[in-house]
Structure 1
Amino acid sequence: MWNPDVYLAFADHRGRPFYELLSRVRAESPRRVVDLGCGPGNLTVTLAQRWPDAVVEAVDGSPEMVAAARERGLDATLGDLAAWTPKPDTDVVVSNAALQWVPSHRDLLRRWVDALPTGAWIAVQVPGNFDAPSHAAVRELASSPQWVDALGDIPFRVGKVTDSAVEYAGLLTDAGGAVDAWETTYVHELTGEHPVLDWITGTALTPVKGALAEEDWQRFRAELIPRLAESYPARPDGRTFFPFRRVFVVAQVGLGAR
């Protein structure tokens, strides 16, 4: 279960990659703009503002997120991103920090290129931080003797969950797109008593929270705090720096060399 309020606690930090991704999409008058993994819709509404004449289609796999997006006036629908197919008038497909949850997303990107009209845009951003100390700490604690029975069935994502910018560029170029790809490591300045824990509670820890009773969840959090504090120590001024690598790829369909 995704909690929109927890996710939005870092809305400014999470929103910045979205705007940087969309800055490279130069569609002028798209007919249909799709946001796959729209979350609570706070960023999706900016698509309607940028392209007021377009139909904005919003899709997410979380009922809680879809409900929050609808509260913002979006015609959001509950759907499996892996099963989504573009309508014939789709000119822009955006997916911001969502496709990392879809193991088959590389095949999806190829399928979208084949299905979209010539000149359509695909804009994707995915995290590239699955080997970061924050994720390693969660995996190590979850696999420890006191937690492995309760959390052993959760498929913690390790290894090659997402690709590099070079690899995505090659994939979409080979599919026939004109590609712009890059990577950015943001150094987020966080504050609060346990800021990194608060951050990952809204994302990476979602399946852990869903698997545990409330008392166990609070105990897991308490045991995770010193591990995160060791990797992300607070400065004397109270700030904590949290590096976060993200991978971006923008492609215009049918304009590259096959």
Structure 2
Amino acid sequence: MAWTPDAFATLDVLRRRPVIDLTAALPSSLAPRSVVNLGCGSGQLSRLLAARWPRADVLAVDHSRAMLRWAADTPSTVRYHHADLAVWRPHWPVDLAISAGGLHHLAGHDRLFPELLQSLGPGGVLAAALPRPQDQTAHRLLLETAADGPWADRLHDAWPAAPLTDGRRYGAQDYYDWLSPQAAAIDLWETEYFHAIDGDVPLLQWLHQPALAPVMDRLTGPELDGFLAAYRRRLEAAYPEHSSGNTLIPIKWLFVVARV
């Protein structure tokens, strides 16, 4: 997989634009020898990073064994590691710590982000794209489906509540305040993407990772099929097909790029 504009076509469409925007914001002079992809999911971004910097050691970390098994099915030079991202930190100087959608569900960002910044070597970069699922109808429907069925006990607390500080959700000012004492430069922005989904593409296909990772970890066989069918029905009712044959879905992301 070469690092070309076409390489992004291999990414899940739901995450392609955020990944493009995040990687485009990396310093042009960055030539990392050590890269850590936090919350790697199925490993698509990790493999893109390994293609962009073939001499770099790329370590992809995720808490979901199901996602890591999926990622390892595609041959690459990427190393995969299972760990709880709430407590795991690199124990060596990292040139690039990057995450596209893998950290938003964790609590304690006031501790997590400064500690990740401290793990960087001189000139290192911390880059994170954080989806805001709590703003999305699809996420609310996911929680409702989990609570309404024979799988409710197994899916209880599968998706932690939105991380809060002083009773409110983390915002751009919080990340700036946490990182500015250590960072030489910080770039912050928020984007809302509107995805037009063709009527021939099931809505569920757009939302299969990482939101459904806890489901794949905890349910199997007919019960998993039942959950997905129930969730799909809710999605189709909430996002009706337009007369054009497409469905428009808004998704918000917050971006943080800091350099030491």
TM-score normalised by length of structure 1: 0.80
Matching residue within 26, 32, 48 for 2:34: 32
Which shifted more, 60-69 or 241-250?
60-69
Which shifted more, 55-64 or 181-190?
55-64
Matching residue within 44, 51, 59 for 2:61: 59
Partner-residue secondary structure (3-state), 2:44: coil
Aligned partner of 1:72 in structure 2 is: 75
- The 2-side partners of 1:212 and 1:64 are apart by 11
- The 2-side partners of 1:76 and 1:235 are apart by 43
* Cα deviation 1:62-119 (Å, max 9, x = unaligned): 3343344443312322231234333544211111111124323441211122232332
Partner-residue secondary structure (3-state), 2:226: helix
Aligned partner of 1:223 in structure 2 is: 230
Partner-residue secondary structure (3-state), 1:40: coil
Aligned partner of 2:48 in structure 1 is: 46
- The 2-side partners of 1:106 and 1:201 are apart by 29
Matching residue within 129, 145, 153 for 2:133: 129
- The 2-side partners of 1:152 and 1:47 are apart by 33
- The 1-side partners of 2:141 and 2:243 are apart by 23
- The 2-side partners of 1:189 and 1:131 are apart by 18
- Determine whether 1:143 maps to 2:147: yes
Distance 1:94 1:213, change over 3 A: closer
Q: Any unmatched runs of 5+ in structure 1? A: 1-7, 254-258
Specify the code of the residue in structure 2 equivalent to 1:43: L
Distance 1:66 1:211, change over 3 A: closer
Count residues with an aligned counterpart: 245
Aligned partner of 2:18 in structure 1 is: 17
Aligned partner of 1:256 in structure 2 is: none
Specify the code of the residue in structure 2 equivalent to 1:215: P
Aligned partner of 1:249 in structure 2 is: 256
Identity %: 31
- 1:74-113 equivalent positions in 2, closer than 5 A: 74-80=77-83, 81-113=85-117
Distance 1:10 1:115, change over 3 A: closer
* Cα deviation 1:19-78 (Å, max 9, x = unaligned): 211111114332212212223322222223332333222223333433444433123222
Q: Any unmatched runs of 5+ in structure 2? A: 1-8
- The 1-side partners of 2:91 and 2:26 are apart by 19
- The 1-side partners of 2:117 and 2:226 are apart by 46
Specify the code of the residue in structure 2 equivalent to 1:79: H
Aligned partner of 1:176 in structure 2 is: 183
User: How far is 1:193 from its partner?
Assistant: 5.4
Distance 1:225 1:54, change over 3 A: closer
Which shifted more, 155-164 or 46-55?
155-164
TM-score normalised by length of structure 2: 0.79
- Determine whether 1:190 maps to 2:197: yes
Q: Is the 8 A contact 2:66 2:213 kept in 1?
A: no
User: How far is 1:179 from its partner?
Assistant: 0.6
Which shifted more, 225-234 or 156-165?
156-165
Q: Provide runs of 4+ in structure 1 moved above 6 Å.
A: none
User: How far is 1:220 from its partner?
Assistant: 3.4
User: How far is 1:229 from its partner?
Assistant: 2.5
- RMSD of aligned residue pairs (Cα, Å): 2.9
User: How far is 1:233 from its partner?
Assistant: 1.0
Distance 1:9 1:30, change over 3 A: closer
